[in-house]
Amino acid sequence: MDAFILSQYVLSGLVIGVIYGLMALGITFIYSIMKMINWSMGEFYMIGSYVQYALLAGVLGWSLWYVALPVAMVSVFLLGLLVQRFLLRPMYVGGVERRDEYATIVTIALMVLFRNLAIVLGGPNQYAPRDYARATTLVTLPISGNRMVALIGTLVLLALFFLVIKTTWIGRAFRGAAQNRVGIQTAGVDVLRLDMLAFGVGVALAAAAGALLAPDFLVYPENGAISTFKGFEIIVIGGLGSILGSIVGGILLGVIEALGSVFLSPAYKDLYGFVLLIALLVFRPTGLFGERERTV
């Protein structure tokens, strides 16, 4: 294999890895603030893809994907606010002793509910949105217009996310809550309201991934399962609760899958990430950017 072809596979892995990282970012952001795992994350991804498809097919027209994307994100953001307010807030105000178990049961129930609602409302069919743009070339890599749009959209969303987290008051509040929930309350921050916003932002990021990838990965009730699977794999590789780890972990996973597919076999594409995960946990159980738990 010459350097030109190798560069194409590496670029392909980088592209899909960045998009993987968007999904993982939503999972780890919710965990860092609320200290809970959202097992229904894939269903918010699925809802985002359905909203995007419905808007483009029925209201806006196929060329206005950049209008449908923020609408899909805002819709899922508002849904996330309601879910957190009425189903997840009792973890913190209702005297629940085992919050992790409560969160697991509630989010798995949501996963089943949303998936079955999608089947009832949209049927078990697969919907294929039209192409967002024409095929193009990224350096040496011929790339579909859909994948290019997904890459650009992901980079823009990641830049906006980090800008808000690093430069705004609400971003400082999020970072403070991630470090010490009790301490941030002494500074006058309403942590319960912050939890609502964090959950809404996290699921909105998942919806954005679903909307951007809808033409490539299709729209159907179970399309969030693979994204959830990849997302949890990435946050363990990068370190649970690490935002930077989500991005780096996604890129690593994408590159490993691309190189494994060409040097070994594409039939075992999903296996290569697990090999990376196991090898990493042997030498660094907390992940690349995870921190050891304080015991004193």
Give per-residue pLDDT as tens, 7-49: 888 898 898 899 889 889 999 999 999 988 899 999 999 999 9
Structure token pair of residue 210: 């679903």
- Alpha-carbon distance 30 to 202, whole Å? 6
CA 129 to the chain's CA centroid: 21
For residue 274, report the phi and psi dihedrals to the nearest 5 degrees. -65, -35
Structure token pair of residue 87: 């189903």
Q: What single letter denotes the amino acid at residue 271?
A: L
Range with top average pLDDT, 95-99, 144-148, 166-170: 166-170
- Alpha-carbon distance 20 to 266, whole Å? 18
Mean pLDDT of the chain: 88
pLDDT at 294 over 50: no
CA 197 to the chain's CA centroid: 16
For the stretch 44-70, pLDDT in tens is 999 999 999 999 888 777 778 888 999
Strand, coil or helix: what is 226? helix
Query: For position 291, what pLDDT does the model report?
Result: 62
- Alpha-carbon distance 169 to 186, whole Å? 16
- 296 pLDDT band, cuts 50/70/90, is very low
Angle, to 10 degrees, between the axis of helix 145-167 and the axis of helix 191-217? 170
CA 18 to the chain's CA centroid: 11
CA 21 to the chain's CA centroid: 6
Are 49 and 211 spatial neighbours (Cβ–Cβ below 8 Å)? yes
CA 110 to the chain's CA centroid: 17
Query: For position 73, what pLDDT does the model report?
Result: 96
- Alpha-carbon distance 203 to 75, whole Å? 10
Are 29 and 243 spatial neighbours (Cβ–Cβ below 8 Å)? yes
The number of beta carbons lying within 10 Å of the beta carbon of residue 236 is: 20
pLDDT at 208 over 90: yes
